Structure 1
Amino acid sequence: MAAEDTTLNDNQYLTFVLENELFALNIGSVREVLELTSITKVPRTPEFIRGVINLRGRAVPVVDLRMKFGMGETRRTVNTCIIIVEVELDGESTVLGALADSVQEVYEMESSQIEPPPRMGTRIKAEFITGMGKSGDRFIVILDINKVFSAEELTLAADAGRGQPLAEGREVAVDAGA
């Protein structure tokens, strides 16, 4: 029984929406979910790195998953939020925010309910996907957040969050009309 308790989070996933598609992250990589706030643009970063937010006095880089996956820019709505995740690469841990159109729920799926990633038919690279689950008649794309970003992209995101002054006039809200 104790072994089951230690793996409890292994089958829990935070589900969220990007462009009407349902995605999930293992709950173990999620720290919290925030309402969308002002994002401070950081010069000379890739387009999908939208900037940084002030999270309890710490600058945290924010990435736009829709842009990373070629879905276009996330638009500000009443449901738009930032999922704060911890990403690991080569033993290094980076905290970043990921924009989502909306967050749905924490969903439990046993490993028997998860199919391998498809070889084709999705615009997201197969190596980013841990597997495919189902909720009713909708598929859930389960992402491996540790593989979505390259080492270079994570370094750029981490650098965006280090030592950047949150100066007046640099805060940029996510555009509703762009």
Structure 2
Amino acid sequence: MSGFDLSLDAPGARRGNGGAAPAGPGPDDGSGEDGPRDDGIRDDGQFVTLGVDGDTYAVPVERVQEILDLRPVARLPRNASAMLGMIDVRGRSVPVADLRALLGLGCGMDDHDTRILVLSLSDGRVAGLKTDRVYEVAALDRGALERPRGDGPRMDAVAGIGRRDGAFVAVLDADRLLGREIATFGASGR
């Protein structure tokens, strides 16, 4: 996956971006070597899968309020580079961030597949996340999410690495991914 070190805590785990890799050995308690996970993401839950720059990411479905077609974004001066501006969602002002910029990827061209996910954060704020495309709502392959290792600039925003149809999927932590950007942006998103 672009921009991420996909070293996994699992013994013998492969590194790389996708490709055929066997699913994990089966269910486990998700505790891993680093103790229990505290991100509130269930390994057996449903996820909205999305694509950015050829890689696949996922967000727990319970965090997604809605998926919007791309619409005009009101740009505001002096905002963080990943913050695009604001959109109106049924009378609510919602700040929107560009997932490509948050992940440190280059600019991409918007097209008919570009979408904005409206996400709810754990503190009650709401934020939009522009992505190249949304694939589907699906469960990941059997087995626990594996913790990524690394100290890249946005590794804290990855809750775990799972697999869908054998390919790697980075499950994003919406609070860590968007929380700082929204605070810097100064919009309440409530």
Give the alignment's TM-score, normalised by structure 1.
0.74
Given the alignment of the two structures, is residue 41 of structure 1 paired with residue 87 of structure 2, yes or no? no
More strand by share: 1
The residue identity in structure 2 corresponding to 1:23 is Y
Q: Share of identical aligned residues, percent? A: 28
Rounded to whole Å, the distance in 2 between the matches of 1:74 and 1:23 is: 16
1:78 to 108, 112, 118: 112
Given the alignment of the two structures, is residue 94 of structure 1 paired with residue 125 of structure 2, yes or no? yes
Structure 2 residue matching 1:39: 3-state secondary structure: coil
- 1:146 alignment partner in structure 2: 175
Given the alignment of the two structures, is residue 60 of structure 1 paired with residue 88 of structure 2, yes or no? no
Rounded to whole Å, the distance in 1 between the matches of 2:42 and 2:162 is: 17
Rounded to whole Å, the distance in 1 between the matches of 2:45 and 2:106 is: 30
Rounded to whole Å, the distance in 1 between the matches of 2:111 and 2:70 is: 9
Rounded to whole Å, the distance in 1 between the matches of 2:108 and 2:189 is: 20
- 1:18 alignment partner in structure 2: 52
Give the alignment's TM-score, normalised by structure 2.
0.70
- CA distance change for structure 1 residues 150 and 54 in 2, over 3 Å: closer, same or farther? closer
- CA distance change for structure 1 residues 111 and 155 in 2, over 3 Å: closer, same or farther? farther
Q: List alignment gaps of at least 5 residues for structure 1.
A: 1-6, 163-178
Q: Deviations over 1:90-128 (max 9, x none)?
A: xx32111100100001111377242222x14x9663321
On the 8 A contact 2:125/2:189 being kept in 1, the answer is no
Q: List alignment gaps of at least 5 residues for structure 2.
A: 1-40
Number of corresponding residues: 150
More helix by share: 1
On the 8 A contact 2:58/2:170 being kept in 1, the answer is yes
Q: What RMSD in Å do the two structures reach over aligned CA positions?
A: 2.6
The residue identity in structure 2 corresponding to 1:45 is N
